[in-house]
Chain A
Amino acid sequence: MTTAAETRPYRSRSRLQHFMIQSAPLLLALIILAGMGVLYVVLFYRQLSRFPGNFEWTSVVNTSMPLVFAGVGQSIVVLTRGLDLSVGGMIDLANGLAATHMHSGAGSMLGWSLLVLLVGAAGGAINGVLVAYGRLQPILVTLATLSIYQGLAIKVLPEPGGAVPIEYTKILANPNGPTSLVFVGFIAVVWFVFRRTRLGVDVYAIGNDEEAARAHGVRVRTIKIAAYVLSGMFAAAAGLFLAATTTSGDATSGDVFVLTSIAAVVLGGISFFGGRGNAVGTVAGAFVLTLLINVLFFANIDPLYQSFFQGLFLIVAVLLGTLIRRLVGLRG
């Protein structure tokens, strides 16, 4: 039903070019993941003269899962131009609660899982209210609540110990196969839906320009609180996965996630200025960080120097990202 007078829609670049430019950070994260995977396989083969098998891949997947969840939660907050340092304390707390209270039996496992997620939501709500209504800097608020949640975790589980039911480990961190990848698929679906909800649009809008978002009727404070609540819940889920993987509890084992969750977000190509990025990139970033530890191990690097090389890698990866973005002509 086109008439002769009708002009074709204007396109300044091809659809593919637009896609490449706008998805460059995500694509880069996936490329780094692929590269790291190849490096891992090569180094593994050089050391052991065989390829990594089911056991090794399962181990990589299971060790990555807590970071995957913590990173996705962190992503949502970073997209609003915030930061959640309290994920570490929340993982400690969730881990401690699971290790001390959960018993075998579907009821206990399900009940305590939901309860722990609720604790995560409540902790996130405290962060969110302080940030949104208290107008405090996210880094200050969550630095304080990090300590508070760590303290609560120590109260719940004063010294390492406790146990989670073996069935729970089988469900969340099955040692016999990488079935936890189901949860990665789950996150991808959740993210796909999230981006297509009003909440998702509002989160990105706030990160783009908070004032403009307000002028468009976004309820900025409510959405910020929602972002921190989601981050708290994802951190709690990370704590549950951590408990399942280690089969016991340690109220300090979550602390490392403060920095690694941020590193995963960075590697995933999410902008710290908010409003740009994709949590699927963060998932890739989480796997990259786990693989990196394995790569360093098989490269015979003294574990003492591990964090040195982790830092070096992070800087190189971020520089590479900036370089590529400049090459494809994306500013910022």
Chain B
Amino acid sequence: MDASFSADFGEVHALVGENGAGKSTMIKILSGVLRPDAGTLEVRGSPVTFRNPHDARALGVGTVFQELTLMPWMTVAENLFLRNEPQGRTGLIQRRRLAARADEVFGRLGIEGIDPYELPAGLSLAHRQVIEIARALLGDPDILFLDEPTSALAEQEVDWLFALVRSLREHGKCVIFTSHRWGEVANLADRITVFRNGEHVATRDRLTEGEAVTLMTGRTIDRMYPERQPVADGLPAALEVRDLRGERVQGVSFTLRRGEILGVGGLAGQGQRDLFMTLFGAHRQTGGELLIDGKAQRIRKPSDAIRQRMGIALVPEDRKTEGLMLPMSVRDNLTLAVLGRVAFYGVLKPRTEQAYVRRAVQRLHVQTTRPSVQEVATLSGGNQQKVLIGRWLIAQSDVLLLFDITRGVDVGTKHDIYELMMELVAEGKSLLFYSSETEEMARLCHRVLVMREGRIAAELAGEAADAEAIVAASLREHAA
């Protein structure tokens, strides 16, 4: 990687580029987590070297990393003040005061609805991200790095963050952020720096989305969203859900037709995730009926869902913890769900396995050198997501539950994933789709269900399902 850029105080600076372009590496170097091989770094005009994150913090650098860094077994308050705890006169940490101090910080930053005594596991992804941001702001940094801060946030938190960033700018601070959402970049940044393959391509005050995509990818993508084909009439439903109940799912009914992309929208945390998990058998179903291909089925665990004649597969947003075995090879990850089919009395048949793998890799354009040995951990986020989808293609699942699969994925790969979704429905597969980007849902889905407090609050179809309508339907109850 070889890149240069500069940012001023009182400026909001965006770093954009595809996954693997070097934005995160740059931010890690500038925060002292990684050391540069060569080159210089200047803060306030004087050269500095960061040996560790502590050095960076001492010079007024605060960072929110892309990977969440919360400690799973520490409370919100302990996490917030980690290594920054209030100390008494004895020099000992005052654990009792942590919660009250956390309440103070939340109050000052306008954060609501987070209990300082809660463990991160009990929080939504968005709230965990909010805590990361609050923690970076604790030291009152002059330079704030935000690496993909909005990828886990829903719209209301994004608004909160933007207001915060603007107020930092007014106070003469320097904010440097990365985002894959063009709307945010255009909306917030004073200047935009584009990276491609670890190189600095351009720094501009103004860029249109088209120009930016061309700079980032080196190719021209004329249309981001592919053409939607209408759902064929007369085919039986792939999945029929009647009054489904489970953890945070309060009686949901809908029909997913063959070849349909059905969106599940609404504000974040209205039970969409729980609905997906329940359908996949990862959360317990406590009531209601599930008809797969017209027949009532009971799904108690994920293997039940996979094993159906019309298999149900889940592609989760947190692919690192819920979907992929990072230290295992691309091949092993791809064939994990079908080991029974590539094995003869428990012994793997390498040739059959290889054939499956080759087909999936080609079909999905997974960028991998040697699928049998390359660890999934070394792939970029977009390619990891493709491996996960590939696993379910090999397993011949007909119903795919796609939960926020484009989160933190770059434009080029997003585009590939959209096209793949269209190919899948053209083959008669059915997709249940949730995205934290409403625009995506509006452009890709045939119908959109809006969820509120574990129930379906509205259904929008065709032209009526545009982004404004989905947002309006999501907010209706809350406004009243």
Q: Taking beta carbons and an 8 Å cutoff, which residues of A are in contact with B?
A: 6-7, 9-13, 15, 18, 22, 193, 195-198, 201-202, 204-205, 207-209, 211-219, 271, 275-276, 331-332
Contacts and interface: CB of A to CB of B under 8 A. Distances in A.
B43 interface: no
Contacts of A271: 73
Given A196-B92, A209-B69, A218 B74 contact: no
Given A10-B113, A215-B53, A217-B57, A22 B71 contact: no
B117 A13 contact: yes
A275 B54 contact: no
B115 interface: yes
A198 B93 CA distance: 8
Given A201-B83, A217-B52, A209 B115 contact: no
Contact of A197 (B93, B103, B107): B93
B85 to A, nearest CB: 7
A208 B74 contact: yes
B73 A276 contact: yes
Nearest to A198: B83
Contact of B115 (A7, A12, A218, A275): A12
A18 B117 contact: yes
A212 B82 CA distance: 11
Contacts of A12: 115, 117-118, 122
A275 B72 contact: yes
A215 B94 CA distance: 23
Interface string B100-115: 1001001100001111
A195 to B, nearest CB: 7
Contact of B53 (A13, A216, A331): A216
Given A195-B95, A201-B85, A331-B121, A10 B71 contact: no
B115 A10 contact: yes
Contacts of B71: 204-205, 208-209, 212-213, 275
A218 B71 CA distance: 13
Contacts of A275: 71-74
B375 to A, nearest CB: 16
A181 B169 CA distance: 59
B116 to A, nearest CB: 8
B82 A201 contact: yes
Interface in B30-62: 33, 52-54, 57
B93 A196 contact: yes
Nearest to B93: A196
Nearest to B54: A217
Instruction: Determine the interface band of chain B, counting residues with CB < 8 A from chain A.
Output: 35 or more
Given A9-B103, A11-B115, A13-B117, 19 more contacts: A7-B112, A9-B106, A9-B107, A9-B116, A11-B117, A12-B115, A18-B118, A195-B93, A196-B93, A198-B93, A201-B82, A201-B83, A205-B74, A207-B73, A208-B71, A208-B72, A215-B53, A217-B53, A217-B57
Interface string B102-142: 01001100001111111101100000000000000000000
| Interface of A, helix, strand, loop or mixed by DSSP | loop
Contacts of A9: 99-100, 103, 106-107, 116
Nearest to A194: B92
A215 B69 contact: yes
Nearest to B114: A10
A158 B83 CA distance: 48
A207 B115 CA distance: 23
B75 interface: yes
Contacts of B434: none
Nearest to B81: A201
A49 to B, nearest CB: 48
Contact of A13 (B74, B83, B115): B115
List 5 A-B pairs, minimum CB-CB distance, nearest first.
Answer: A208-B71, A212-B69, A9-B103, A196-B92, A18-B117
Contacts of A207: 73
Contact of A196 (B33, B95, B112): B95
Contacts of A197: 92-93
Interface in B145-186: none
B70 interface: yes
A193 B92 contact: yes
Contacts of B356: none
28 contacts: A9-B107, A10-B106, A10-B115, A12-B117, A12-B118, A13-B118, A18-B118, A22-B117, A196-B94, A196-B95, A197-B92, A198-B93, A204-B71, A205-B71, A205-B74, A208-B71, A208-B74, A209-B71, A212-B67, A212-B70, A216-B83, A217-B53, A217-B57, A271-B73, A275-B71, A275-B72, A275-B73, A275-B74
Contacts of A11: 115, 117
Contacts of B280: none
Given A11-B115, A11-B117, A275-B72, A217 B83 contact: yes
B392 interface: no
A197 B71 CA distance: 17
B69 A216 contact: yes
A66 to B, nearest CB: 29
B433 interface: no
Contacts of B116: 9
Given A11-B115, A217-B57, A209 B72 contact: yes
A216 to B, nearest CB: 6
A216 B56 CA distance: 11
Nearest to A17: B117
A155 to B, nearest CB: 42
Contacts of A276: 73
A278 B240 CA distance: 49
A12 B121 CA distance: 13
B9 to A, nearest CB: 24
A197 B93 CA distance: 6
A212 B112 CA distance: 25
Contacts of B54: 217
Nearest to B65: A215
Contacts of B69: 209, 211-212, 215-216
